[in-house]
């Protein structure tokens, strides 16, 4: 019985000390780790921007740029208003309108976000635009494209993998980088994101737009509208998951009390003043 | 008879040892399942969005206790879905996960302040790619390997001219905030 008590005491002592163990790391080690981390972080973000810039040039080359300064200015202002509430303040976001009849929106790493002219024309207010841009910003902040490429760096992260390719000095790494960019373009143009990435982008986009003051329900409204157009519009590209699944998930987020349910701004008048229907 | 008693005593000892071992294994497993190393230990969180509200409950319809600005350090207690429970100066509340990070936010000028180095890297990369592409094409052409030339051809057309136009559209955070404020005020006055 005594022995059993000893055993129990020893095991309980170990259990109690377990959570405290990492605290013995020391402040100096923490500071050094922070400095190394920060410089790695800067290099990774630079690589992410360079990669995204190349991919953005591919998107523009593929769809064509809608060279309407007034429209681009407006889309940029709405997008940047939402991006101010994103978790990646180190990025400068660029928003552009694509001259395409296809209903779609794209995001390239590093903060490049695009929406087609056709998608803009299907919208009814600024809140819908804010939510859709918020959804695309979430693909940037969560690094969905880079993660999908499944390139791993020395520390096991996808961004470090891209950084490794960009800093690579051999022709082999340049070729690998080009291939990675083409694969990224294929994800955007053909294959689409994973359903869980789309659902995560919906939730974050909706919450970001709400933080900026827009009605988060606008994303649901637009997706329901898009669903109707899906049947009518043959040019619709199915690179987003079934609309009903997404709408249901959004309802779950709202029902769980995770989003603002109070009525917020939609700014329909300003939208129509800037987007010519 | 004595032999039977000794044997049964040995058997009891053996059973007791086995029971102790089983107890130890059981408690270790229970410890691993219920006491993750992170549990009970707070962690640093930094506000990465422009500003963020701390709510009483993980629900934006609940009372907003206070507001924090970008870079503000909070003490994370636990994560639940999209939310982190945080405490600050003996007040506990909830914040959206996408508005915080484990590291302090990196400022724009730290990244874009070194524009020249960024684009130098980019140009180096591009010139390397061009050099490789043209060298490869000419060698392939000399050998009559048309399929190789097709492979090195960029699969997608790249439009850097449009990209530069896009990047030329610049706004300060203040201009963006003013645009937002103006819109919200007009909506209220309607």
Position A192 in a domain: yes
User: Could you tell me which residues come within 8 angstroms of residue A270 by beta carbon, excluding any fewer than 6 positions away?
Assistant: A126, B183, B186
Q: What are residue A95's DSSP bridge partners?
A: A113
pLDDT value at A52 more than 70: yes
A203–B82 C-beta distance less than 8 A: yes
Chain B CB contacts of A4 below 8 Å: 20, 23
Higher pLDDT, A251 or A219: A219
pLDDT of residue B136: 40
Alpha-carbon distance B162 to A258, whole Å? 39
For residue A267, tell me if it sits in a domain.
yes
CA B169 – CA B86 distance, rounded (Å): 38
Task: With respect to residue A10, please indicate whether it lies within any of the assigned structural domains.
Answer: no
Residue A240 within any structural domain of the chain: yes
The per-residue pLDDT for B35 is 58
Using CA atoms, how far apart are residues A102 and A120, in angstroms rounded to an integer? 10
Cα B63 from Cα B80, distance rounded (Å): 18
pLDDT band at A79 (very low <50, low <70, confident <90, very high): very high
- Number of domains comprising chain A: 1
Chain B contact for A61, CB < 8 A? yes
* Distance (Å) from the alpha carbon of B80 to chain A's nearest alpha carbon: 11
CB contact under 8 A, A96 and B111: no
Question: In angstroms, rounded to a whole number, what is the distance separating the alpha carbons of residues B173 and A41?
Answer: 23
How large is the average pLDDT for residues B78-89?
89
What pLDDT, on the 0 to 100 scale, is given for residue B137? 40
Report yes or no: A222 and A130 within 8 Å, Cβ to Cβ: no
Q: Report residue B116's pLDDT band, with 50, 70 and 90 as the boundaries.
A: low
Could you give the CA distance from residue A71 to residue A94 in angstroms, rounded to a whole number?
13
Q: Does A155 touch chain B (CB under 8 A)?
A: no
Three-state secondary structure call for residue B92: strand
Instruction: Evaluate if residue A128 carries a pLDDT over 70.
Output: yes
- Closest CB to A89 among B62, B105, B125: B105
Given a cut of 70, is residue A254 above it in pLDDT?
no
- Residue range A144-150: mean pLDDT, rounded: 87
A28, part of any domain = no
Question: Do A60 and B118 lie within an 8 Å CB cutoff?
Answer: no
Cβ contact, residue pair B132, A257, below 8 Å: no
With respect to residue A31, please indicate whether it lies within any of the assigned structural domains. no
User: Residue A142 has what DSSP assignment?
Assistant: T
CA distance A200 to A135: 9
Q: Provide the chain A residues 76-135 that lie in CB contact (below 8 A) with chain B.
A: 76-77, 80-81, 84-92, 94-96, 112, 126
A55 in a structural domain: yes
Chain A nearest-CA distance from B87, in A, is 19
> For residue A268, what are the domain limits?
37-274
Once rounded to an integer, what is the mean pLDDT over residues A122-145? 95
In the predicted structure, residue A155 carries a pLDDT above the cut 50: yes
Residue B186: per-residue pLDDT: 85
Q: Are A168 and A177 in contact (CB under 8 A)?
A: yes
Contact at CB, A96 and B40, closer than 8 angstroms = no
* pLDDT tens per residue across span A212-241: 989 888 988 888 777 654 544 444 455 555
User: What's the whole-number average pLDDT of chain B?
Assistant: 75
Looking at residue A231, its pLDDT comes to 44
* A257 with B100: Cβ contact below 8 A: no
Considering only CB atoms, A80 lies closest to which of B58, B162, B176, namely B176
Question: Among partner residues B112, B157, B184, which is closest to A61 by beta-carbon distance?
Answer: B157
Distance CA B25, CA A176 (A): 49
Q: Facing residues of A113 across strands?
A: A95, A107
Q: Within a domain: residue A26?
A: no
CB contact under 8 A, A57 and B41: no
What is the arithmetic mean of pLDDT over B142-162?
56
Helix (H, G, I), strand (E, B) or coil at B78: strand
- Nearest chain B residue to A44 by CA distance is B111
Closest CB to A166 among B99, B125, B160: B125
Out of A96, A167, A208, name the one closest to residue B166 (CB): A96
């Amino acid at each position: 019985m005594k022995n059993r008590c000893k055993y129990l005491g020893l095991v309980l002592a170990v259990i109690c000390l377990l959570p405290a163990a990492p605290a013995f790391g020391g402040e100096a080690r923490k500071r050094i780790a922070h400095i190394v981390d920060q410089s790695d972080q800067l290099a990774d973000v630079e690589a992410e921007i360079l990669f995204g810039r190349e991919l953005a040039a591919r998107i523009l080359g593929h769809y064509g740029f809608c060279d309407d300064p007034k429209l681009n200015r407006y889309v940029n202002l709405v997008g940047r208003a939402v991006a101010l509430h994103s978790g990646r303040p180190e990025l400068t976001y660029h928003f552009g309108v694509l001259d395409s009849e296809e209903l779609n929106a794209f995001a390239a790493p590093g903060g490049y976000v695009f929406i087609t002219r056709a998608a803009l024309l299907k919208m009814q207010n600024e809140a819908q635009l804010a939510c859709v841009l918020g959804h695309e910003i979430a693909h940037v902040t969560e690094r969905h494209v880079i993660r999908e490429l499944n390139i791993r760096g020395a520390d096991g992260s996808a961004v470090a993998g891209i950084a490794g390719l960009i800093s690579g000095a051999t022709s082999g790494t340049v070729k690998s980088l080009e291939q990675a960019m083409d694969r990224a373009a294929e994800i955007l143009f053909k294959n689409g994101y994973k359903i869980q990435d789309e659902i995560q982008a919906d939730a974050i986009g909706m919450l970001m737009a709400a933080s900026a003051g827009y009605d988060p329900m606008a994303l649901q409204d637009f997706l329901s509208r898009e669903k109707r157009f899906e049947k009518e519009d043959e040019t619709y590209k199915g690179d987003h998951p079934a609309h009903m699944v997404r709408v249901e998930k959004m309802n779950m987020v709202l029902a769980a009390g995770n989003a603002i349910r109070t009525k917020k701004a939609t700014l329909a008048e300003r939208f129509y003043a800037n987007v010519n229907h | 008879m004595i032999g039977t008693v000794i044997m049964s005593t040995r058997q009891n000892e053996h059973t007791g040892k086995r029971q102790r071992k089983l107890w130890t294994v059981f408690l270790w497993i229970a410890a691993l399942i219920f006491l993750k190393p992170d549990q009970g230990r707070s962690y640093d969180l930094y506000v990465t969005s422009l500003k963020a509200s701390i709510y009483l409950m993980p629900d934006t319809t609940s009372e907003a206790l206070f507001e924090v600005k970008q870079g503000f350090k909070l003490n994370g207690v636990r994560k639940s879905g999209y939310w982190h429970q945080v405490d600050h100066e003996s007040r506990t509340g909830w914040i959206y996960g996408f508005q915080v990070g484990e590291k302090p936010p990196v400022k724009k000028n730290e990244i874009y302040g070194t524009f020249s180095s960024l684009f130098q890297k980019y140009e180096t990369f591009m010139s390397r790619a061009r050099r490789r592409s043209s060298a490869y094409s000419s060698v392939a052409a000399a050998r009559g390997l048309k399929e190789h030339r097709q492979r090195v051809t960029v699969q997608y057309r790249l439009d850097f001219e449009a990209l530069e136009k896009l990047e030329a559209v610049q706004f300060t955070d203040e201009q963006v905030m003013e645009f937002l404020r103006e819109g919200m005020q007009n909506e209220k006055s309607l």
